[in-house]
């Protein structure tokens, strides 16, 4: 059989590729039928007046893609290709333009999720990353420790000990790309059959992660001391063997768990094997009155507390670095069940953060931000005390990055508070959003006002809008 292959020396694609493409198409279209013998690379080269190596390359490509087969001592044959699934040429990928953030018409957004980045020490961060990216640091581009860089865990450990009273060795710490990933890891370590008690209202994102991992969640009511420990033994929480709590500053209620409640929870955990408390210490850095509340983990004498921290609030959410502190018993389980997972955080980023911590930048940054947020907090509270207090009781102040307003008069529903504010271009967030089962919400109408990402001027403008929206009596 002779192949008439129209070769075009003009076009860019190399000879061997034109031969390869031509034969491939012939086979696809069936013009070259399965089993038919192809000319030898030598013969084809002579016919086409190309070098032998050219035809060899073309055949090799066809071989490797399985269009032809080589039979020792006999030559090349067209392979059997069932057109079970027709192979068309691919249309070019369509790229839809990036969707515009549709403007919500909200001028002042009291979102409780924001943080203030105006004071972020970009120049320092830049300097640190520049110093790390030197050629003799290329080891940093190779795989690192699955738990995270040892030096960084050491730095986090000593920070936690001095600032939060957490007691741990670096090998109890697991660094991961954000709390959601760490909760996935935790569900894997603890086992998916676990029943987890959560404060209600709570941090819904953690709730969603637990469900996604196949865990059961029992919502448990709170009082002003925190999660009702009594409910764990017999009540809504019955059957739970894990309790997820935020003792230093509950989200969204802002409650600080009392020592006694902490002890009750620790006692509950000790009463049975395999019981644990997950302490999410997400924003304990920000407290504007008194000293920070020491972590529950530091009170635990029996290895029943799993401590979770993050740099999302204290540095920035986008750096995606959080960590777990596991008690000994779970450390063993982690190594068995999840020890093979590579770290999810870039080694470079870990080292930038390490420098940031150990060179004192983090502490300076925290102090600066504490002052910044306290300033905004005071402006907000000052404004609220100018009339709002006649209608609302104010909660969750003096810590964290938001306060709660609870309607004492029963004048408005939560939905009305949100809507009427929105009509004035102000974003406030109803407490019901944070309930695992909103129908469990027995609180009077309450909205959250976050202030972290707003300027003092914006806060005042926002309050002015809310005054009108909710017809708050002015100061006499």
Nearer to a copy of itself (CB atom), residue 319 or residue 421: 319
Q: Is 342 in the site for a copy of itself (CB under 8 A)?
A: yes
| Interface with a copy of itself, residue 367, by CB under 8 A | no
Contact pattern for a copy of itself over residues 289 through 328, marking x by CB under 8 A: xxx-x----xxxxx-------------xxxxx--------
Residues 4-33 that bind a copy of itself (CB under 8 A): 17, 20
Chain residues 265-284 in contact with a copy of itself, contact rule CB under 8 A: 266-267, 270
Residue 101 makes contact with a copy of itself by CB under 8 A:
no
Q: Concatenated DSSP letters for 3-32?
A: ------SSSSS-HHHHHHHHHHHHHHTTSS
DSSP codes, 402-422: EEEEEESS--S-HHHHHHHHH
Q: List the interface residues with a copy of itself, window 60-89 (CB under 8 A).
A: 60-61, 64-67, 79-88
The verdict on 130 binding a copy of itself (CB under 8 A) reads: yes
Q: Which of residues 390-429 bind a copy of itself (CB under 8 A)?
A: none
Q: How far is the CB of 476 from a copy of itself (least distance, A)?
A: 26
Residue list 156-215, contact with a copy of itself (CB under 8 A) = 157-158, 160-161, 165-171, 177-178, 180-181, 184, 188, 192, 205, 208-209, 212-214
- Provide the 3-class DSSP secondary structure of residue 85: coil
> Is 455 an interacting residue with respect to a copy of itself (CB under 8 A)?
no
Residues in the chain: 476
Q: Do 339 and 172 form a contact (C-beta atoms < 8 A)? A: no
CA dist list (Å): 237 to 66, 191, 197, 241, 465: 61, 18, 6, 9, 41
- 371 binds a copy of itself, rule: CB under 8 A: no
Residue 105 corresponds to which tokens in the numbers above? 């018409």
* Contact of 321 with 190, CB cutoff 8 Å: no
Give the residue, chosen from 109, 231, 349, 407, that forms a contact with a copy of itself under the rule CB under 8 A.
349
Binding mask 222-241 for a copy of itself (x = CB under 8 A): ---x----------------
Q: How far is the CB of 384 from a copy of itself (least distance, A)?
A: 19
Residue closer to a copy of itself by CB (options 218, 320) is 320
DSSP type of residue 343? P
Contact 327, 303 (CB under 8 A): yes
Nearer to a copy of itself, 78 or 447 (CB): 78
CA dist 154 and 173 (Å) reads 9
Number of other residues whose CB lies within 10 A of the CB of residue 150 = 14
- What's the angle, vertex CA 67, arms to CA 61 and CA 69, rounded to 5? 90
| Spatial contact of 298 and 167, defined as CB atoms under 8 Å apart | yes
């Amino acid at each position: 059989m002779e192949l008439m292959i129209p070769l075009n020396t003009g076009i860019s694609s190399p000879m061997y590729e034109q031969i390869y493409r031509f034969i491939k198409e012939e086979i696809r279209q069936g013009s070259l039928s399965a089993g038919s013998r192809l000319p030898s690379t030598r013969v084809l080269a002579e016919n086409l007046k190309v070098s032998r190596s050219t035809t060899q390359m073309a055949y090799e490509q066809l071989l490797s893609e399985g269009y032809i087969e080589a039979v020792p001592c006999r030559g090349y044959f067209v392979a059997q290709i069932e057109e079970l699934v027709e192979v068309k040429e691919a249309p070019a990928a369509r790229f839809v333009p990036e969707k515009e953030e549709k403007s919500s018409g909200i001028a002042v957004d009291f979102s409780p999720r924001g943080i203030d980045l105006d004071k972020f020490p970009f120049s320092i961060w830049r300097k640190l990353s520049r110093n790390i990216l030197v050629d003799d640091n290329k080891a940093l581009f190779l795989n690192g420790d699955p738990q995270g860089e040892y030096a960084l865990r050491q730095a986090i450990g000593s920070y936690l000990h001095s600032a939060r009273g957490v007691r741990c060795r670096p090998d109890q710490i697991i660094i991961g790309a954000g709390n959601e990933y760490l909760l996935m890891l935790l569900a894997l370590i603890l086992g998916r059959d676990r029943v987890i008690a959560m404060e209600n209202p709570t941090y819904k994102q953690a709730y969603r992660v637990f469900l996604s991992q196949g865990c059961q969640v029992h919502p448990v009511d709170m009082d002003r001391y925190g999660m009702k420990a009594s409910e764990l033994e017999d009540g809504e929480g019955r059957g739970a063997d894990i309790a997820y709590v935020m003792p230093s500053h509950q989200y969204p209620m802002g409650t600080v768990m009392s020592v006694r409640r902490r002890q009750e929870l620790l006692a509950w955990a000790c009463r049975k094997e395999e019981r644990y408390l997950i302490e999410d210490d997400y924003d304990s850095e920000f407290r504007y009155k008194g000293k920070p509340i020491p972590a529950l983990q530091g009170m635990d004498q029996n290895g029943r507390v799993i401590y979770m921290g993050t740099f999302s609030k204290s540095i920035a959410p986008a750096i995606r670095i959080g960590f777990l502190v596991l008690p000994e018993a779970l450390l063993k389980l982690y190594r068995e069940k999840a020890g093979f997972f590579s770290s999810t955080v870039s080694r470079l980023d870990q080292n930038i953060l390490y420098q940031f911590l150990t060179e004192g930048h983090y502490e300076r940054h925290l102090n600066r931000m504490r002052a910044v947020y306290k300033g905004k907090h005071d402006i907000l509270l000052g404004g609220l005390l100018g009339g709002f207090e006649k209608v609302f009781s104010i909660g969750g102040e003096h810590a964290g990055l938001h306060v709660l307003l609870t309607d004492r008069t029963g004048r408005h529903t939560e939905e009305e508070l949100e809507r009427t504010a929105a009509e004035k271009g102000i974003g406030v967030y109803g407490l019901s959003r944070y309930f695992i089962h909103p129908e469990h919400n027995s609180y009077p109408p309450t909205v959250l006002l976050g202030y972290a990402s707003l300027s003092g001027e914006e806060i005042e403008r926002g309050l002015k809008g809310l005054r009108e929206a909710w017809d708050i009596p002015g100061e006499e």
